[in-house]
Structure 1
Amino acid sequence: MSKVRGFEKISINQFVKDIKITESHLKTCYANYQVPQRGTAVSAGYDFYALQNITLQPGEQIVVPTGIKAYMQPDEWLAILVRSSHGFKYNLRLMNQVGVIDADYYNNPSNEGHIFVALKNEGNRTWQVKASQAFAQGIFMKYLCVDGENPVSQQRLGGIGSTDRRG
C-alpha cells in the first residue's frame, strides 16, 4: 500500500537530539507517545499531544518539539494551529500565527521533518497541559499554483526556514 498522507514518529536518534528529557525517561517517552489523531469521525484537525508537562505563565513563550513528522502529496500542506479551546480560554497563540508544513519538509536532511510548535501565552492566566494531552492540531490542505510559475529551487536544502535558501 502506498502512503498518501499521515504522521510518523521521528527516529530515536532525532528524538534524542531534539527532546530535552532525562535519559531515564527517554526510551519510555519515545515508546509511549502517540501520533496525531482526530477526536471524531468529522473532525478536520488531527490533535498533537504533549510529550511532557508544559506550563506557560502570562507573557511566556516556548518552542515545543512534537516528535512527529508528516508526509503528504506534493500539492498539499499541513496547517498547524492551537486548539481552539486553548485560544479562547487562555489566549494561547502560535508565535507564527499558523504553522505551515510543506510536503518537502518530510524527511529533510536537517531534522527529518520534525514538527515544532512555537507557543506564546498572551493571556493573563497560567496555561498548563499534561504529557499526552492535546495542545495543537494539524489540518491537511490542498494549495493552488499560479500560471507560469518558476520556483526558486526544486528541492528543500534544510529544515525550518529553509525554503528561501539557494543550493
Structure 2
Amino acid sequence: MAVRGFEVVSKYQEAGLTVPERSTHNAAGYDFKAAQDMVLPSLVNQPFLKELNIFSLGKISALLEKPEVRAALKPTLIPTGIKAYMQPGEFLQLVARSSAPIKKQIMMPNGVGIVDADYYNNEGNEGEIFFQYLNFGLEDVHIKKGERIGQGVFMPYLLADQDEASEKTTRVGGFGSTGEA
C-alpha cells in the first residue's frame, strides 16, 4: 500500500515530467520543477508603479481599486504538473528555494504553502500543486520548464482537543478551495 509520494497529473502525462526527488541523503525537501516555461513579471515595471510618485501617495487607495492594478499585484502561479498523496494527519509544506530571493529576486507571498491530504484527487480537482511567486526585482524573471522552483516537505500535524466538536466539510475543489480570506 502506498503511504506518501508523488504522481504526474493527467494533463502532463506526455510532457516528460519527473516526480520530485531529494538532492542529498539528508535533504528534508523534495525538489519541485516547473512544468512549463513561465514569465514572472517585475512588480517594479508595472504601469501603475510608474505613475506612483510622492505626490500621488494621498491617492493610493483609489489607485489600488483599479482592476489592472489589482491584477498586477497578484502572484504568478507556476504549475508543477505534480500531485501528492499522503496519509491523514499529514500535509505537504511548500517552501521557496533559499536562493530564490538572492539570485532571482522572487519570493512566495504566502511564505509557506500547505497542501492538505484531501487536495489529492478530490471531486473537483486532480490536485496539481502550484507554487506562487512575486517578482520584486527590476526585470522580468524567466522560468524554464524543468527548472527547480521550490521544495516540498511532508509533515505530520496535531489536532486541538476541541477539534471533534467542529463540523467539517469535504473538499471539492482545487487551489484555494477551502474558503475565502
TM-score class normalised by the smaller sequence: 0.7 to 0.9
Deviation at 1:84, TM superposition (A): 0.9
Larger radius of gyration: 2
RMSD: 2.1
Partner Cα distance (2:167, 2:31) in 1: 33
1:9 corresponding residue in structure 2:
8
2:167 corresponding residue in structure 1:
152
Q: How many residues align?
A: 149
Partner Cα distance (2:41, 2:9) in 1: 29
Give the secondary-structure state (helix, strand or coil) at the position aligned to 2:99: helix
Structure 2 unaligned runs (5+)?
A: 44-71
> Against the structure 1 CA distance between its residues 53 and 73, is the aligned structure 2 distance closer, same or farther, given a 3 Å change threshold?
same
Deviation at 1:129, TM superposition (A): 2.7
Deviation at 1:164, TM superposition (A): 4.2
Partner Cα distance (2:148, 2:86) in 1: 22
Deviation at 1:87, TM superposition (A): 2.2
Structure 1 unaligned runs (5+)?
A: 17-25
Tell me, yes or no, if the aligned pair for 1:109 and 1:159 is still in contact at 8 Å: no
Partner Cα distance (1:157, 1:56) in 2: 29
Deviation at 1:126, TM superposition (A): 3.9
Q: Structure 1 counterpart of 2:38, which letter?
A: I
Structure 1 residues 47-75: Cα deviation after superposition (integer angstroms, max 9, x where no partner): 11112222324217421121111011111
Q: Is residue 2:25 matched to residue 1:44?
A: no
Runs of 4+ deviating beyond 3 Å? none
Between the two structures, name the one with larger relative contact order (CA 8 Å, sep ≥ 6). Answer: 2
